[in-house]
């Protein structure tokens, strides 16, 4: 589930990977209810299937769904889909919001590309003067919800192990901290 600010409320997007380049997607617009104990959606929730290669929508299942989202005692988000009960038994835990872009630290491009079994997978590419990839690294890192940070470690092809902490500053810029020194990452325009 991804959550975005939207016109005084929130946009919620739930993506279920199906394999065979297909994914089911539910989209809701939501607001905090007056009792402030749940997120309630407006009655225009969408459910559709998308081809992840072409980006085309294969099928729309409905455009009139309602849902309620609450927190349980463990702080996990529960999804009560009032249209087809798709969220039954699911608990969403907070994993941070480090997806959604590529970032640069000097000649190193940072891509937060996956999250599995409680860890982020982070790809680093050292780029040359013409943008060519000179060196790669895969970092694995645990997300700390209390601090909204990822502490990750890995190594470039040369084998030297290093540890990086990723966080946000007050302006929501991604920050790389290594050996006590912090650098604000710049947005990357590389697409390969």
pTM flag (> 0.85): no
**Sign of CA pseudo-dihedral 85, 115, 28, 172:** positive
Q: Which two tokens stand for residue 31?
A: 């607001």
pLDDT at position 191:
63
Read off φ and ψ for residue 79, nearest 5 degrees. Answer: -115, 115
Dihedrals phi, psi of 160, to nearest 5 degrees: -75, 120
pLDDT at position 137, please?
93
Q: Would you give per-residue pLDDT tens digits along the chain (192 residues)? A: 888 888 878 899 998 888 888 899 999 999 888 887 888 888 788 899 988 788 788 788 888 888 999 989 888 899 999 989 999 989 988 887 777 678 999 999 999 877 777 788 999 999 999 889 999 999 999 988 889 899 999 999 888 899 999 999 998 889 999 999 999 999 887 665
Query: Long-range contacts for 44-51 (Cβ within 8 Å, ≥24 apart)?
Result: 45/83, 47/83, 47/84, 47/86, 48/24, 49/18, 49/22, 49/23, 49/24, 49/25, 50/22, 50/23, 50/25, 51/21, 51/22
What distance in Å separates the CA atoms of residue 37 and residue 56, rounded to the nearest whole number?
36
pLDDT number for residue 44: 82
Report the C-alpha gap between 59 and 22 in whole angstroms. Answer: 11
- Residue 37's pLDDT is 84
- Residues constituting the chain: 192
pLDDT on residue 131: 85
CA–CA dist 108, 188 (Å, integer) = 10
Angle at the Cα of 112 from the Cα atoms of 109 and 115, rounded to 5 degrees: 155
| pLDDT value of position 188 | 82
Do 120 and 128 contact (CB within 8 A), yes or no? no
Structure confidence at residue 100 (pLDDT): 64
Block residue for tokens 């810029």: 173
CB contact burial 71-107 (16+ within 10 A = b; e otherwise)? eeeeeebbbebeeeebbeeeebeeebebeeebbbbee
């Amino acid at each position: 589930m991804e959550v975005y600010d939207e016109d005084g409320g929130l946009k919620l997007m739930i993506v279920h990977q199906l394999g065979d380049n297909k994914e089911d997607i539910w989209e809701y617009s939501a607001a905090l209810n007056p009792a402030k104990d749940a997120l309630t959606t407006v009655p225009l929730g969408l459910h559709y299937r998308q081809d992840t290669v072409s980006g085309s929508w294969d099928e729309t299942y409905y455009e009139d769904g309602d849902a309620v989202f609450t927190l349980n005692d463990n702080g996990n988000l529960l999804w009560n889909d009032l249209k087809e009960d798709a969220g039954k038994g699911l608990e969403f835990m907070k994993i941070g919001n480090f997806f959604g872009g590529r970032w640069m630290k000097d000649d190193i491009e940072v891509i937060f590309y996956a999250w599995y079994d409680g860890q982020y997978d982070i790809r680093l590419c050292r780029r040359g003067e013409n943008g060519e990839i000179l060196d790669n690294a895969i970092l694995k890192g645990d997300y700390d919800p209390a601090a909204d940070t990822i502490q990750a470690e890995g190594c470039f092809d040369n084998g030297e192990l290093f540890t990086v902490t990723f966080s946000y500053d007050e302006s929501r810029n991604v920050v790389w901290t290594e050996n006590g020194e912090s650098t604000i990452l710049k947005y990357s325009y590389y697409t390969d």
